Structure 1
Amino acid sequence: MSDTVTLYTYFRSSCSARLRIALHLKNIPFNPVFINLLRDEQSSEAHRAINPSGTVPALVVQNSSGTSVTITQSLAALEYLDETFPQTPKILPNDAESRALVRTLAQIIGCDIQPVTNLRILKRVAPLGADRTVWSKDLIEDGLRAYETIVAKSAGKFSVGDQITLADICLIPAAWGAERVGVDLTAFPVTNGIVQRLENEEAVRLGHWKTQPDTPEELRV
């Protein structure tokens, strides 16, 4: 009996996209369960029993031993996949210094950029009178400036050298979200070059929000 992987996902969710890309990159078969955020399905009692935060994604792995693990934060889930599914490519480098650099970049995305694109955060901004698109665009650009400064020194083909890492898996969905609110990625030339190269990767195409079974027909490629 092999491990069974289930991913609770939504096509527009950048955190869900991280896991979709990683699963495809490692050629790990998974069963998607689609949670429609616009219909508030993430807040249902059934979903909160899986993910108490009432968000997506949630990664559930039924191990061959019969035990099950549920991980409800994408960065933790990505590291779990790298540790428990050792098939290449690895998304964290072998040396401690490079791992710390990759995690730093991933957390710039996860802590500084992604939260301001989160639907439940944006819903709370609008009643305060702020233009939520302008508000999120400014903060995304702040995060991308920090990302650009670091990768200007670390980049090869991708963010840290020439292999796709955890940082890149977080970057590309963030770039999709940035473009939606009008960020000009060419203002960040090193980062933009990395994004363009990532767009050509099969795992990224398979994980793209436009190609998901729950993507509305009018938004599909």
Structure 2
Amino acid sequence: MAVPEFEVHTYNRSSCSGRLRIALNLKNLQADYVYVHLFKGEQRSGNHLQLNPSGTVPVLLHRKEGEEVTFPITQSIAALEYLEEIVPNQVPLLPPLSQPLDHAKVRTLVNIVAIDIQPFSNRSVVKRVTDLGGNAEEWNSGFMMKGLQAYEAVAAKTAGKYSVGDRITLADVCLVPAIWAAEKNSVELEKLPTVMAHLRGDVRVGGSPESALE
């Protein structure tokens, strides 16, 4: 049996890790998964920090045949774009290069999730809010709703069957785990009709939190 080319350091409740698992599944790429338990602080271990100085997940390692892994990819969007660049024709998750405006639409939505939504729900940020005496749940859900409303407004102009047109893109890959997190934080998703209408089941396959170890 062939050894998977990819190794992913992940945690099932990490939305950033969820993006990568979904993309690998959609592209039918096999990976070995190394589970890093964030609630047990395994991301702060010496071994993990040597791999990823940021102390976060996911980390993508690509084991090319006959070569040593020389660079761990420690940011989820960089990892997604890397997969797209090395296997662009295996379920493309970006529009053709001949459609630069559609590229920009996808990347706009990706960045809304990666910059305007996810960082505020990061475990270390939420813990800091709690330590300062704030209401972490209210903080988290408020920023999630604000970001998802921005996604909703943009997607209302770009969506077909999915967030941008009629094919799954990196925007959908990033959106789905954001919705998992929003559901856990009691965000009023019924206020986001475009977002919810375009969360089709085939994006979720293989990527749900339940598909990974606790």
Fold-level match, TM-score > 0.5? yes
Task: Confirm or deny that 1:141 pairs with 2:173.
Answer: no
Q: CA deviation at 1:2?
A: 7.8
Q: Deviation per CA, 1:10-59, whole angstroms, max 9, x where unpaired?
A: 01000000000000000001000000001100000100111110000000
TM-score between the two structures when normalised by the length of structure 1: 0.91
Judging changes above 3 Å, is the alpha-carbon distance between structure 1 residues 92 and 65 closer, same or farther for their aligned structure 2 residues?
Answer: farther
Shift of 1:64: 2.1
- Give distance in 2, aligned partners of 1:65 and 1:81: 19
Q: Distance in 2 between matches of 1:67 and 1:91?
A: 28
Measured on the aligned residues, the alpha-carbon RMSD in Å equals 1.4
Gaps of 5+ in 2: none
Paired position in structure 2 for 1:219: none
Query: Which residue identity lines up with residue 190 of structure 1 in the other structure?
Result: T
Displacement after TM superposition at 1:3 (Å): 6.6
| Alpha-carbon contact 1:151-1:159 (below 8 Å) kept | yes
2:154 matched to 1:156?
A: no
How much identity, in percent, do the aligned residues show?
A: 44
Q: Which runs of 5+ in 1 are unaligned?
A: 216-221
Structure 1 residue ranges (4+ consecutive) displaced by more than 6 angstroms after TM superposition: none
Work out whether 1:173 is the aligned partner of 2:177.
yes
Code of the aligned partner of 2:81: E
2:205 counterpart residue number: 205
TM-score by length of 2: 0.94
Letter in 2 for 1:6: E
| 1:124 counterpart (113, 125, 128) | 128
Q: Where do 1:39-118 residues align within 5 Å? A: 39-68=40-69, 69-94=71-96, 95-118=99-122
How many residue pairs match? The answer is 210
- C-alpha separation between the residues in 2 aligned to 1:129 and 1:108? 28
Q: Give, in whole Å, the separation in 2 of the partners of 1:2 and 1:45.
A: 26
- The letter for the 1-side match of 2:211 is T
What CA distance in whole angstroms lies between the structure 2 residues aligned with 1:135 and 1:99? Answer: 32
- Contact in 1 for aligned 2:37/2:43 (Cα 8 Å): yes
One-letter amino acid of the structure 2 residue matched with residue 26 of structure 1: K
Q: Distance in 1 between the 2:188 and 2:3 partners?
A: 44
Are the aligned partners of 1:9 and 1:16 in contact in 2 as well (CA < 8 Å)?
Answer: yes
